[in-house]
Copies of this chain bind each other. A is one copy, B any other.
Amino acid sequence: MTGHTQRGQCAKRMSILDAAADVFCRQGFAAASIDEIAAVACVSRQTIYNHYREKETLFVAVVEDVMNRANAMLFSVLSAFPDNADNLEDDLTVFVVRLNKNCLCNHDGKFLRKLVQTEGERYPHLFESWRQHGPGKLTTALSALLARLAQKGALVIDDFDVAARQFVALANADLQMMTLFGGTPTDAELEKAARNAVRTFLRAYGRPPAENAGAQPQLAAVSG
């Protein structure tokens, strides 16, 4: 019955949430002013207080909103990995590119990492759920994925959890500094970083592709 109003309200809400995410991310919770958020959202200040009781309520809503988006995207990227990996190196590289581009280095990823550092101590419960559903889910899902690949004989891994964490770490190795300083990697940089990460990961955990075991393994493929 209130469909139209809901749509109008919903648009306002999203506009407010987007603007608040922008301002909170740039300024931090304390320095962000409601007036600036209202200006960015092209909305009256009273409208914000109409939707959210106070500044902290708005902040919590923003974080939860971004968390939901980020989790959905993470799930999407994770489930896009092919079940039958025919070319492991290429498949992993595509996966790492997508992971970096859509989850780790994108707008929401930077927002969450930044906010969890600045306000994490002040809102432990808020980010604890993100910790479980975000990075926690990532490592467990990756761990399961690596276990599957190991069972197929494509990888040789003793500790799947450690390998999963190292996989993520390697995927970020080349981009960490850039993202720390606010930069956004280009597609070429993403591709290069992913290739470096996957190559090293496979050099550590990969198996020689052929059945002639004992032959020169991946290690000797270092070309220089």
Tell me if A95 counts as interface (CB < 8 A to partner B): no
Q: Which of B31, B135, B222 contacts A30 (CB 8 A)?
A: B31
What CA separation (Å) do A162 and B173 show in the bound complex? 8
What CA separation (Å) do A116 and B179 show in the bound complex? 11
Q: Which residue of B lies closest to A158 (CB)?
A: B224
Q: Which of B157, B168, B174 contacts A162 (CB 8 A)?
A: B174
B28 touches A135 (CB 8 A): no
Tell me if A8 counts as interface (CB < 8 A to partner B): no
Taken residue by residue from 159 to 175, chain A's Cβ proximity to chain B (1 for < 8 Å, 0 otherwise) reads as 10011011011101110
B218 touches A219 (CB 8 A): yes
Whether A200 contacts B28 in the complex (CB less than 8 A), given A158-B224, A182-B120, A223-B158, comes out as: no
CB-contacts of A171-214 with B (<8 A): 172-174, 176-177, 180-182, 196-197, 200-201, 203-205, 214
Interface size class, chain A: 35 or more
| A-side interface mostly | helix
- Chain B residues with CB under 8 Å of A135's CB are 177
A219 touches B156 (CB 8 A): yes
What CA separation (Å) do A168 and B166 show in the bound complex? 11
B219 touches A182 (CB 8 A): no
Tell me if A76 counts as interface (CB < 8 A to partner B): no
- Chain B residues with CB under 8 Å of A180's CB are 113, 116-117, 120
Tell me if A55 counts as interface (CB < 8 A to partner B): no
Taking each of A118, A131, A158, A172, which has the highest tally of chain B beta carbons within 10 Å of its own beta carbon? A118
Other than the given A166-B196, A214-B216, 16 more pairs (CB < 8 A) read A27-B30, A28-B31, A116-B180, A117-B117, A117-B118, A117-B180, A120-B181, A127-B181, A131-B181, A158-B224, A165-B173, A165-B174, A166-B197, A169-B169, A204-B204, A218-B219
